[in-house]
Structure 1
Amino acid sequence: MKIFVLNLERALERRESMLQHLSSLGIEAEILPAVEGARLPASSLPAGTDARLSPGEIGCYLSHVRFWEIVVERGLEHAIVLEDDVRCSPSMLQVAEDVAALGMPFDAVRLSALNPIRGLDITTLPHGGKLVLPNKNPSGTQGYMVTLEGARHLLERLAVPRCPIDTALDAYWKHGLCIPLVSPSVVAEDAGIASSIEGRFGRRQRKTLGRHLARVAEAQRRKFSVFLMARRLRARLQRRAQGNPAQ
């Protein structure tokens, strides 16, 4: 399975540290030059980019979009992207291969989570861990796998930075995407490395009753949407286990 590492060209120390870490696990990776948002003229941004995003958030988002594009350009059935400030479990690649072997219509599978994992269990993986469909925001894009068809869907629906990239993936259910995650996570942020993204979208939003009620209503819609998606996935897995792969 192809593995990419997002890394700013000037961040040589991070690049070397990340490659050494992966090498110690017997993993080869290709460096994918990250987009430096601060160097992008406003005129070059995709139409519809939210002006409230910081340059770092825009660069991070467009770096992930470039990853999706490469998956499609190369026709990769599955690929993993890692940010350059993470540490991976020795089981990461096996877990990803276990998920790929399920043959399910996943667009992406998150291998990391910054927040506690909350959601509906889909299945237990052969070599340990579970596949969970989140109904709470896991946040973070430290590591995830995409499928070829999933990369196409992501480009169709999420190519324009309208929020931070992890917020966009958290809202998968709104965009008709299927993005479960593995639990426990097999990719984690390295707490000893400072983030290269400054600022945070929406951090100055004032709390109001209207916003609170809207969040409550959205949470209920999300729970229902995720419940239906989880039920479909479980039913498909059961049919496959019975030797009937029909959708």
Structure 2
Amino acid sequence: MKIFIVNLERAADRRAAILRHLGELGLEAEILPAVEGVKVDRATLGPGAEPRLSNGEVGCYLSHVRFWQLVVERRLPHAIVLEDDVVCSPSLLRVARDAAALMPPFDAVRLSALQPIRGIPVATLSGGEKLILPTKHPSGTQGYLVSLDGARRLLAALSVPRSPIDDTLDRYWKYGLCVPVVAPSVVVEDASIASGIGARFGSTAPDSVAHRVTRHFARVVEAERRKLSVFLMARRVKAQLQGRR
């Protein structure tokens, strides 16, 4: 299975470290040159692009869009993308192959999570790992698997950056995408390496009482919508998987 690593051309040390780490696991990978957000003409991002995203967030988002495009251009049945600041489990490839065998109904499978994984289990892999449709934001795009059809659907729904890429994937249910998370994770962030993204979207938002109240109610409404949407999606997925047996 093809593995890509998102890496800035100037980050030679990180590139060498991740290639060495994967080599120790017996894995090969292709470097996917990351987009330098500071060099992006914001006018080219398309209608609805969020102007408050940092240069790092824009570059990160467009780097993942480029990954989806490569999967489609090369007609890869499945592919994995990793960021260059990760540590991978020796079971990474086995988990990815197990998950790929279940596609569809999944468009992508997240192999990492920065937050505790909470949601509805829909499948169990050969090593006992669960595929869970998250009802809380798992956050992070340290590693995930995508199918060819999934890449097409991601491009159709998410090619314009309206929020950071991990926030966008956290809201998969809003876009009719089916994106479970593997639990436990088989890709984790290397905490010893500083993130290259910089300030996060919304980190400088006003914090007035009215603003906090508005955000609170928006989160409550979205959480309820999410619970229902994910419940219905999980029911459909389980029925599809049962129908194959």
**Partners of 1:62 and 1:172 in 2: CA distance:** 17
**Partners of 2:4 and 2:162 in 1: CA distance:** 24
List runs of 5+ in structure 1 lacking aligned partners. Answer: 242-247
Instruction: Read off the aligned partner of 2:220 and give its amino acid letter.
Output: V
Kept in 2: contact 1:98–1:127 (CA 8 A):
no
1:9-24 equivalences under 5 Å are 9-24=9-24
Deviates more, 1:232-241 or 1:170-179: 232-241
Cross-structure match for 1:210? 214
Q: How much is the aligned-residue C-alpha RMSD, in angstroms?
A: 1.0
Moved over 6 A (4+): none
Cross-structure match for 1:25? 25
**Partners of 1:218 and 1:40 in 2: CA distance:** 31
Instruction: Read off the aligned partner of 2:212 and give its amino acid letter.
Output: T
Cross-structure match for 1:226? 230
**Partners of 1:187 and 1:222 in 2: CA distance:** 25
Q: How far did 1:235 drift?
A: 1.2
Cross-structure match for 1:158? 158
**Partners of 2:199 and 2:46 in 1: CA distance:** 20
Task: Give the number of aligned pairs.
Answer: 241
Instruction: Read off the aligned partner of 1:93 and give its amino acid letter.
Output: L
List runs of 5+ in structure 2 lacking aligned partners. Answer: none
TM-score (normalizing by structure 2): 0.96
CA 1:119 to 1:36, structure 2 compared with 1: closer, same or farther past 3 Å? same
**Partners of 2:21 and 2:69 in 1: CA distance:** 26
**Partners of 1:134 and 1:228 in 2: CA distance:** 13
1:62-211 equivalences under 5 Å are 62-205=62-205, 206=207, 207-211=211-215
Deviates more, 1:160-169 or 1:199-208: 199-208
Q: Deviations over 1:219-239 (max 9, x none)?
A: 001000000111111111111
Instruction: Read off the aligned partner of 1:224 and give its amino acid letter.
Output: L
User: SS of 2:244's equivalent?
Assistant: helix
**Partners of 1:103 and 1:208 in 2: CA distance:** 40
Q: How far did 1:105 drift?
A: 1.6
**Partners of 2:43 and 2:132 in 1: CA distance:** 40
